[in-house]
């Protein structure tokens, strides 16, 4: 049996990722074990699981350090790593949006500054619109930027909308919907094809039944 390494994302998508692998019987115990470790082995099934930052999942998969991984469509579109996207897992639903101060929603601004953790997505979005903007890359707490005068708007993901609301911000435009995706290393798809197809099949069924 081929050995398979799975990269799972830490943070908000972790629990749902553990659940979906458990629910279809791929590995029942990861949730318990992963609460303590970043790396676990299911020796019986020849499976390894690693827990990494969501933005690092495609890197592990592209380089073959993991055969498959779970990560958001937002991250995939931003990083454009060379791997196959094979399945929409249906959880981790959120939207990529342009947001800004609620009281300035209808103010026209030329040459605005856009703070974001997703510079490539933001750049492409404004390029398509033919708008000139200055992109300011941040690594987190993006909602702060318009509040302290670092930018006029942000491009970020919104899930519940709580962070925007609590900071007096509102959605100006929706860019695209996002959710968790299953990604596969291109070489592994060929060399470990049977095992990977079986995993995709089980996860697809779990997705359809949830
Ligand atoms: C994400 C995103 C927003 C927030 C949206 O940040 O960048 O800040 O979640 O979620 P909500 O609509 O449910 O409030 P994350 O929690 O990943 O933290 P970060 O700002 O440190 O990246």
How many structural domains is the chain composed of? 2
Spans in the chain with pLDDT lower than 70: none
Which residue, 126, 89, 101, is CA-closest to 207? 89
Residues 173 and 193 in one domain: no
Residues 173 and 191 in one domain: no
**Ligand 1 contact via 103 beta carbon (within 6 Å):** no
CA 125/CA 55 separation, integer angstroms = 20
CA 192 to chain centre: 25
* Atom of ligand 1 minimally distant from the CA of 143: 8
Residues 169 and 101 in one domain: yes
Q: Note whether 58 and 83 are within 8 A (CB).
A: yes
* CATH number for the domain that contains residue 38: 3.40.190.10
Residues 174 and 105 in one domain: yes
Residues 110 and 167 in one domain: yes
CA 144/CA 148 separation, integer angstroms = 6
pLDDT of residue 88: 98
**Ligand 1 contact via 156 beta carbon (within 6 Å):** yes
Q: Note whether 198 and 144 are within 8 A (CB).
A: no
pLDDT of residue 197: 96
- Full-model pTM: 0.93
Give me 103's structure tokens. 């009281």
pLDDT tens-digit series, residues 164-186:
999 999 999 999 999 999 999 99
pLDDT of residue 32: 76
Residues 103 and 161 in one domain: yes
**Ligand 1 contact via 53 beta carbon (within 6 Å):** no
Residues 166 and 185 in one domain: no
**Ligand 1 contact via 157 beta carbon (within 6 Å):** yes
Distances (CA, A) of 90 to 69, 102, 180: 15, 30, 6
pLDDT of residue 195: 95
* Atom of ligand 1 minimally distant from the CA of 166: 14
Q: Per-residue b/e over 72-92, b at no fewer than 16 CB within 10 Å?
A: bbbbbbbbebebbebbebebb
Which phi-psi region, left, alpha or beta, contains residue 72 (left: φ > 0; alpha: ψ -120 to 50)? beta
pLDDT of residue 78: 98
Using CA atoms of 141, 143, 149, 155 in order, give the dihedral in degrees to the nearest 10: 110
* Atom of ligand 1 minimally distant from the CA of 165: 14
pLDDT of residue 113: 97
Residues 171 and 184 in one domain: no
Residues 123 and 79 in one domain: no
Residues 60 and 102 in one domain: no
pLDDT of residue 38: 84
pLDDT tens-digit series, residues 9-23:
999 999 999 999 988
**Ligand 1 contact via 161 beta carbon (within 6 Å):** yes
Structural domain harbouring 153: 94-178
**Ligand 1 contact via 160 beta carbon (within 6 Å):** yes
**Ligand 1 contact via 191 beta carbon (within 6 Å):** no
pLDDT tens-digit series, residues 71-94:
999 999 999 999 999 999 999 999
Residue 176: φ, ψ to 5°: -165, 155
Residues 145 and 46 in one domain: no
**Ligand 1 contact via 158 beta carbon (within 6 Å):** yes
Residue 39 β-bridge partners: 50
Give me 54's structure tokens. 């969501």
Residues 143 and 195 in one domain: no
pLDDT of residue 1: 82
20 Cα–ligand 1 center, Å: 23
């Amino acid at each position: 049996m081929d050995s398979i390494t799975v990269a799972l994302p830490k943070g908000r998508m972790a629990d749902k990722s553990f659940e979906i692998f458990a629910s279809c019987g791929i590995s029942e115990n990861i949730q318990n074990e992963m609460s303590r470790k970043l790396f676990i082995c299911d020796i019986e099934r020849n499976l390894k699981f690693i827990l990494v930052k969501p933005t690092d999942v495609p890197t592990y998969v592209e380089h073959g350090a993991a055969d498959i991984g779970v990560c958001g469509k937002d991250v995939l579109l931003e990083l454009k790593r060379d791997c196959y996207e094979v399945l929409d897992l249906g959880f981790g639903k959120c939207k990529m949006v342009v947001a800004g101060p609620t009281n300035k929603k209808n103010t026209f601004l030329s040459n605005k500054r856009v703070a974001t953790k997703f510079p490539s997505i933001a750049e492409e979005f404004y390029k398509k619109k033919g708008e000139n903007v200055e992109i300011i890359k941040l690594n987190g707490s993006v909602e702060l930027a318009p509040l302290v005068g670092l930018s006029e708007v942000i491009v970020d993901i919104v899930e519940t909308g709580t962070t925007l609301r609590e900071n007096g911000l509102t959605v100006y435009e929706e860019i695209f919907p996002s959710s968790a995706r299953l990604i596969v290393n291109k070489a592994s798809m060929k060399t470990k094809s049977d095992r990977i197809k079986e995993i995709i099949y089980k996860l697809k069924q779990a997705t359809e039944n949830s």
